Amino acid sequence: MNASPVLIRFPLRRAAVLVVPERDGEGWLALAGSDGWSFGSLDEAHHEANWLASNLSLSVREVLR
């Protein structure tokens, strides 16, 4: 007997501030929820991510290339 997949919806939670490379590889993004900021260097992105994390009581996660 094949069971149909069941979609379980969970409440949206802000888990972390993400630091990720831009798609074209030219810079870095700091992402928090549905907002994002673009930076020319990894150091600038980390600085902003740490500030955001501190003010939003979140952790910082980095996604490597």
pLDDT over 80 (residue 5): no
- Indicate the pTM of the whole model: 0.73
Break the chain into its structural domains and give their ranges.
Answer: 16-62
- Within 10 angstroms of residue 38's Cβ, the number of other Cβ atoms is 13
Residue 11 predicted with pLDDT over 60: no
Higher pLDDT, residue 21 or 12: 21
Q: Would you say 28 and 45 are in contact if contact means Cβ atoms under 8 Å apart?
A: yes
Q: State residue 42's pLDDT score.
A: 93
Q: What is the pLDDT of residues 13-57, one digit of tens each?
A: 567 899 999 988 889 999 988 889 999 999 999 999 999 999 989
φ, ψ dihedrals at 55, nearest 5°: -80, -20
pLDDT of residue 46: 96
